[in-house]
């Protein structure tokens, strides 16, 4: 079982119809009817090189082709098989649709001494694939695999769902889930993966890995994407380390070369107070300046939320990349078509709306005359609605996982301290407040003013911390 096969597939030419999902090389070809799907399936079945695990699924508007049922079974020969299938599809007038490619898996988690895979195989009528999973022999149900729970965690069992999709459509899937009422729980692994939750707190992981992984092992032209397997490094409130389901998925971009290149659409789109943005600084790990791209889905949408940066003292430079925006700067209206630069000094009241759908604005920020210090606000945006809703325990539990992985961001420690203060947990709150101040002394003044830390102010340790 090796990565080499699927990495070589990703690097190959003329396989653009295909995505490498958790279930291996997969393609969807759109057709006009079930009859056309059946005819195409019959033609594909005659392509040399298909194997016992190849799965053809015909529906009224598509034929889905899975070559292996697992990414680890991908071999060099599958490149030629995929090319041949695509050629047959073109002959039959079928259209490839990467947005429809997906693999849904269910992870059943338990303590190591309580994993019961034979039970699940029996109750589902599934067949073994590997020692830790099982598959539907009919090819209709989701693959089920077993995951070890951390023995130090209190739960004895749990489940979650993984949705593996093509790298160029993962962001859209995440956005659709958010628009349907979901919440981004953890975007720190984006664009490799997002963890989302429904209103009841049930978790799902949308993963663009392995399809979005670097193509060849040791390829110095691509940034290496890595991911932690440590369960305490993921910001979740339950006992399922959703990210471990990816086995090796991107956590953040870590360049092994002196440069990195990405398309803007490769960067996960997040939401801050209802406004979509792409965290460029976070994506590349930039530490010398802030960089964010804001985009509007429709004309009239807010592009830049109203703010003045008075509290942090940052200046900002906005560049309208596409479309047309209208800025309000200290009450003055400014029309800003594509190519317009807008510079705002600290304290300037600023906001912007889109005049055209798809208007996109690049924002750069930093503090005049000072070394830039990233605060990590990008990782906070998914938790802010929960905090506002009073779900402070959930926020605290998730933040503890995030700060374990990103101990460089003072804002995250400060907000964790605020949540713990509201929960009456003074000792961890003071410890996390201390860490925020050690990273950036400005948070000392914030601590004196923030009402959410009121429960700490009578504690002698708070006074000592404020005195420095």
pLDDT at residue 167 is higher than 70 = yes
Residue-level pLDDT at 234 = 31
Tell me which of 50-54, 228-232, 422-426 is least confident: 228-232
> How much is the average pLDDT of 200-215?
79
3 state DSSP class of 374? coil
For tokens 């759109």, name the residue: 30
- Between CA 69 and CA 57 the distance in angstroms is 12
Residue-level pLDDT at 217 = 36
- Between CA 95 and CA 100 the distance in angstroms is 11
Q: Edge-to-edge strand order for the sheet containing 302-307?
A: 302-307, 350-354, 324-329, 332-337
pLDDT band for position 244 (cuts 50, 70, 90): very low
Structure tokens at 77: 């020969």
Chain segment 38-74, per-residue pLDDT in tens: 999 999 999 999 988 899 999 999 999 999 988 888 9
For tokens 């653009």, name the residue: 16
Contacts of 296-300 with C-beta under 8 Å, sequence gap 24+, read 296/323, 296/353, 296/354, 296/356, 296/357, 296/358, 296/359, 296/360, 297/357, 297/358, 298/354, 298/357, 299/354, 299/355, 299/356, 299/357, 299/359, 300/353, 300/354
CB 387 within 8 A of CB 364: no
Structure tokens at 128: 């073994």
- Between CA 465 and CA 446 the distance in angstroms is 13
Structure tokens at 113: 């001494």
- Between CA 334 and CA 341 the distance in angstroms is 11
pLDDT band for position 184 (cuts 50, 70, 90): confident
> How much is the average pLDDT of 392-404?
90
Helix (H) or strand (E) holding 117: helix 117-124
Q: Is there a cis peptide before residue 261, judged by omega within 30 degrees of 0?
A: no
Q: Which residue, 141, 116, 112, 111, is CA-closest to 126?
A: 141
* Highest mean predicted confidence (pLDDT) among 113-117, 215-219, 252-256: 113-117
Q: What is the mean pLDDT of the chain?
A: 85
Domains recognised in the chain with CATH numbers: 4-100 (3.30.1360), 102-254 (3.10.180), 264-366 (2.60.120.10), 377-467 (1.25.40.10)
Residue-level pLDDT at 156 = 58
Q: What is the DSSP string of 389-451?
A: TT-HHHHHHHHHHHHHH-TT-HHHHHHHHHHHHHTT-HHHHHHHHHHHHHH-THHHHHHHH-G
Percent of the chain with pLDDT over 90: 53
* pTM metric for this prediction: 0.51
Helix (H) or strand (E) holding 186: strand 183-186
Structure tokens at 353: 């709306």
pLDDT at residue 26 is higher than 70 = yes
Pairing between strand 143-148 and 133-135? Answer: antiparallel
- Between CA 191 and CA 177 the distance in angstroms is 15
pLDDT at residue 280 is higher than 80 = yes
- Between CA 187 and CA 262 the distance in angstroms is 18
Q: Edge-to-edge strand order for the sheet containing 143-148?
A: 127-128, 133-135, 143-148, 102-110, 157-165, 203-207, 193-197, 183-186
- Between CA 58 and CA 41 the distance in angstroms is 7
- Give the contacts of 50 (CB within 8 A, at least 6 positions apart): 44, 67, 81
Residue-level pLDDT at 188 = 73
- Between CA 350 and CA 308 the distance in angstroms is 6
For helices 4-11 and 77-91, what crossing angle results, to 10°?
40
Residue-level pLDDT at 157 = 62
Chain segment 317-360, per-residue pLDDT in tens: 999 999 999 999 999 999 999 999 999 999 999 999 999 999 99
CA distances from 148 to 39, 105, 243, 397 (A): 44, 16, 12, 20
> How much is the average pLDDT of 181-202?
82
Chain segment 247-260, per-residue pLDDT in tens: 333 333 333 346 67
> How much is the average pLDDT of 160-179?
87
Rg (CA), the chain: 25
pLDDT at residue 278 is higher than 80 = yes
Residue-level pLDDT at 172 = 84
pLDDT at residue 218 is higher than 50 = no
- Give the contacts of 458 (CB within 8 A, at least 6 positions apart): none
Pairing between strand 203-207 and 193-197? Answer: antiparallel
- Between CA 282 and CA 250 the distance in angstroms is 13
> How much is the average pLDDT of 151-174?
80
Tell me which of 52-61, 93-102, 173-182 is least confident: 173-182
- Between CA 416 and CA 430 the distance in angstroms is 10
- Cα three-residue angle 155-70-225, rounded to 5 degrees: 75
């Amino acid at each position: 079982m090796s990565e080499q096969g699927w990495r070589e597939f990703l690097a190959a030419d003329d396989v653009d119809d295909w995505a490498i999902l958790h279930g291996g090389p997969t393609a969807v070809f759109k057709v006009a009817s079930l009859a056309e799907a059946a005819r195409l399936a019959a033609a594909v079945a005659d392509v040399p090189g298909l194997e016992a695990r190849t799965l053809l699924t015909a529906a009224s508007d598509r034929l889905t082709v899975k070559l292996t049922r697992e990414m680890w079974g991908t071999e060099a020969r599958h490149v030629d098989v995929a090319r041949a299938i695509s050629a047959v599809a073109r002959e039959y007038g079928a259209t490839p649709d990467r947005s429809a490619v997906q693999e849904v898996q269910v992870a059943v988690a338990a303590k190591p001494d309580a994993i019961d895979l034979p039970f699940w195989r029996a109750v589902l009528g599934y067949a073994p694939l590997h020692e830790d999973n099982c598959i539907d022999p009919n090819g209709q149900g989701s693959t089920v695999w077993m995951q070890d729970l951390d023995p130090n965690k209190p739960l004895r069992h749990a489940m979650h769902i993984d949705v593996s999709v093509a790298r160029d459509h993962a962001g859209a899937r995440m956005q659709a889930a958010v628009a349907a009422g979901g919440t981004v729980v953890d975007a720190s692994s984006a664009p490799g993966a997002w963890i989302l939750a429904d209103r009841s707190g049930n978790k799902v992981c949308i993963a663009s890995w392995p399809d979005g992984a670097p193509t060849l092992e040791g390829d110095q032209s691509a940034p290496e994407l890595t991911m932690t397997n440590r369960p305490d490094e993921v910001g979740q409130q339950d006992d399922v380390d959703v990210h471990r389901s990816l086995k090796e998925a991107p956590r953040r971009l870590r360049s092994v070369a002196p440069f990195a290149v990405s398309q803007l659409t490769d960067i996960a789109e997040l939401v801050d107070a209802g406004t979509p943005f792409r965290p460029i600084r976070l994506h590349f790990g930039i530490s010398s300046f802030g960089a964010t791209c804001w985009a509007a889905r429709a004309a009239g949408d807010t592009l830049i939320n109203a703010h003045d940066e008075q509290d942090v003292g940052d200046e900002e430079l906005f560049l309208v990349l596409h479309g047309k925006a209208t800025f309000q700067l200290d009450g003055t209206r400014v029309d800003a078509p594509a190519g317009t630069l807008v510079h705002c000094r600290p304290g300037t009241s600023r906001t912007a709306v889109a005049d055209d759908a798809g208007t996109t604005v690049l924002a750069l920020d930093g503090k005049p005359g000072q070394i830039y210090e990233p605060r990590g606000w990008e990782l906070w945006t998914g938790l802010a609605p929960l905090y506002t809703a009073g779900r402070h325990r959930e926020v605290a539990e998730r933040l503890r996982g995030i700060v374990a992985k990103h101990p460089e961001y003072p804002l995250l420690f400060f907000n964790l301290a605020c949540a713990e203060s509201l929960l009456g947990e003074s000792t961890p709150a003071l410890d996390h407040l201390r860490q925020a101040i050690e990273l950036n002394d400005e948070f000392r003044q914030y601590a004196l003013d923030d009402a959410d830390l009121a429960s700490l102010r009578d504690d002698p340790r708070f006074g000592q911390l404020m005195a420095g």
